[in-house]
Chain A
Amino acid sequence: AQSVTQLGSHVSVSEGALVLLRCNYSSSVPPYLFWYVQYPNQGLQLLLKYTSAATLVKGINGFEAEFKKSETSFHLTKPSAHMSDAAEYFCAAPNQAGTALIFGKGTTLSVSS
């Protein structure tokens, strides 16, 4: 069955430091993968998506993610954290039937000055 695992429920970085949020997926077929961001009491906003066109995907707000099939990973990175990046981040992939997205449990990113 398809599943998405986010390693680390909380990540703390200093402003200007590298951001790395980890996501691993399980599937026997090439996936479509997504990263979403959620600010408090709001809906989810798409950061970026992988749809087999390129393994390195660039998204909004300076974020990018690299699809690594050998590692079944799709980690999210940003070279330099801003205070405004503090939010909850979700990795998502289609369910086995391809009819809806399934989500990881989320990683809360804290950014300190």
Chain B
Amino acid sequence: DGGITQSPKYLFRKEGQNVTLSCEQNLNHDAMYWYRQDPGQGLRLIYYSQIVNDFQKGDIAEGYSVSREKKESFPLTVTSAQKNPTAFYLCASSIHSQMNTEAFFGQGTRLTVV
């Protein structure tokens, strides 16, 4: 089945540590996105990538980094510079970067700082 796979589903991080969230898609989509979800805040865009080897900052990129070395993969690193990383992280993809088509979402990773 085609889709987007995020791993792990739950992740615990100690303060001061970097952690990497995985996102893989086999939909052959050009564009991929990372969103952060907090209760009552909706989804906020962290980073997006329209093509391989290119990515752009979203609205809340500080404290995060990404790479797009392969079309199917778009990992997100939450660095120690992110002051409040506890949240639900959602990865998405779309067939191309022009948003007249829908985005498809993974099942999310819940990150908790302990």
Place the interface of chain B in its size category: 20 to 34
Chain B min CB distance to A95 (Å): 8
* Chain B residue with Cβ nearest A52: B100
Complex contact A41–B45 (CB within 8 A): no
How far in angstroms is the closest Cβ of chain A from B9?
8
A12 CB within 8 Å of chain B? no
Question: With A41-B110, A99-B50, A105-B42 given, is the CB distance from A34 to B102 under 8 Å?
Answer: yes
User: Do most interface residues of chain A lie in helix, strand or loop, or is the interface mixed?
Assistant: loop
Tell me how far the C-beta of B67 lies from the nearest C-beta in chain A, rounded to whole angstroms: 18
For chain A residues 13-61, which have a beta carbon within 8 Å of chain B?
32, 34, 36, 41-46, 49, 51
Q: How far is the CA of A29 from the CA of B108 in the complex (A)?
A: 32
**Distance of A32 Cα from B98 Cα, bound (Å):** 10
> Which of B42, B98, B106 touches A98 (beta carbons < 8 Å)?
B98
Smallest Cβ-Cβ distance to B38: which chain A residue: A105
A82-113: CB near B (< 8 Å → 1, else 0) gives: 00000000100011001111111110000000
Question: Contact between B50 and A106 (Cβ–Cβ < 8 Å)?
Answer: no
- Is the CB of A72 closer than 8 A to any CB of chain B? no
